Chains A and B, each alone.
Chain A
Amino acid sequence: MAEVLVLVDHVDGTVRKTTSELLTIARRLGEPSAVFVGAGFDAAKETLAKYGAAKVYRVESDDVTSHLVVPQAELLAQLVASTSPAAVLVPASTEGKEIAARVAIKTESGLITDAVDVQAAGDGVATTQSVFAGSYTVQAKVTKGTPIIAVKPNSATPEEAPAAAADEVVDFTPSEAAKGARITESKPKQATGRPELTEAAIVVSGGRGTGGDFSKVEDFADSLGAAVGASRAAVDAGWYPHTSQVGQTGKQVSPQLYVACGISGAIQHRAGMQTSKTIVAVNKDNEAPIFELVDFGVVGDLFAVLPQATDAIKTAKG
Chain B
Amino acid sequence: MNIVVCVKYVPDAQAERTFNASDNTTDRDNVDGLLSELDEYAVEEALKIVEAGEGEVTVVTIGPDAAADAIKKALQMGADKGVHVNDAAIHGSDAAATSLVLAEAVKKLGAESSVDLVVTGMASTDGTMGVVPTMLAERLGLPAVTYASELTVEGDTVSIRRDGDASTQTITATLPALVSVTDQINEPRYPSFKGIMAAKKKPVETWSLADLGIDAAQVGLDAAWTAVESFAARPPRTQGEIVTDEGDGGSKLAAFLSERKFV
Residues of A within 8 A of B (CB): 11, 68-70, 73, 94, 97-98, 100-102, 104-106, 108-114, 126, 130-145, 177, 180-189, 196-197, 202, 224, 235, 241-243, 248-249, 252, 256-257, 267, 271, 274-275, 278-280, 282, 286, 291-301, 304-313, 316-317
Q: Find the B residue at minimum CB distance from A299.
A: B244
Question: Top 8 A-B pairs ranked by shortest CB distance?
Answer: A308-B250, A300-B245, A180-B143, A110-B225, A312-B254, A101-B131, A309-B250, A295-B240
In the bound complex, residues from chain B placing their C-beta under 8 Å from that of A278 are 260, 262
Binds A, one of B52-60, B65-73, B168-176, B197-205: B168-176
Q: How many angstroms between the C-alpha atoms of A301 and B245 in the bound complex? A: 8
**18 additional contacts, CB 8 Å, given A111-B96, A136-B17, A187-B168?**
A68-B145, A97-B129, A98-B134, A102-B134, A136-B234, A138-B230, A144-B225, A180-B173, A181-B145, A274-B237, A293-B237, A295-B260, A305-B250, A307-B250, A308-B254, A312-B254, A313-B254, A316-B263
In the bound complex, residues from chain A placing their C-beta under 8 Å from that of B233 are 135-136
Chain B interface size, as a band, is 35 or more
Distance from B241 Cβ to chain A, minimum over Cβ atoms (Å) = 6
Query: Is A139 in contact with B228, judged by CB distance below 8 angstroms?
Result: yes
In the bound complex, residues from chain A placing their C-beta under 8 Å from that of B86 are none
In the bound complex, residues from chain A placing their C-beta under 8 Å from that of B262 are 202, 224, 256-257, 278
Query: Is B253 in contact with A101, judged by CB distance below 8 angstroms?
Result: no
Query: Is A297 in contact with B240, judged by CB distance below 8 angstroms?
Result: yes
Residues of B within 8 A of A (CB): 13-14, 16-19, 37-38, 94-96, 99, 125-126, 128-132, 134-135, 138-139, 141-147, 149, 159, 163-174, 177, 182-184, 224-234, 237, 239-245, 248-258, 260, 262-263
Query: Is B226 in contact with A308, judged by CB distance below 8 angstroms?
Result: no
Query: Is B251 in contact with A183, judged by CB distance below 8 angstroms?
Result: no
Query: Is A297 in contact with B17, judged by CB distance below 8 angstroms?
Result: no
Chain A interface SS verdict (over half): mixed
Distance from B17 Cβ to chain A, minimum over Cβ atoms (Å) = 5
Contact of A286 among B128, B182, B244 (CB under 8 A): B244
In the bound complex, residues from chain A placing their C-beta under 8 Å from that of B183 are 249
- Most A CB contacts (10 A, CB to CB) among B129, B172, B226, B228 go to B226
Contact of A224 among B131, B250, B257 (CB under 8 A): B257
Q: How many angstroms between the C-alpha atoms of A140 and B18 in the bound complex? A: 16
Query: Is B243 in contact with A298, judged by CB distance below 8 angstroms?
Result: yes
Q: How many angstroms between the C-alpha atoms of A185 and B14 in the bound complex? A: 39
Distance from A213 Cβ to chain B, minimum over Cβ atoms (Å) = 17
Q: Find the B residue at minimum CB distance from A250.
A: B183
In the bound complex, residues from chain A placing their C-beta under 8 Å from that of B145 are 68, 181
Query: Is A140 in contact with B229, judged by CB distance below 8 angstroms?
Result: yes
Q: Find the B residue at minimum CB distance from A268.
A: B13
Distance from B210 Cβ to chain A, minimum over Cβ atoms (Å) = 23
Query: Is B226 in contact with A304, judged by CB distance below 8 angstroms?
Result: no
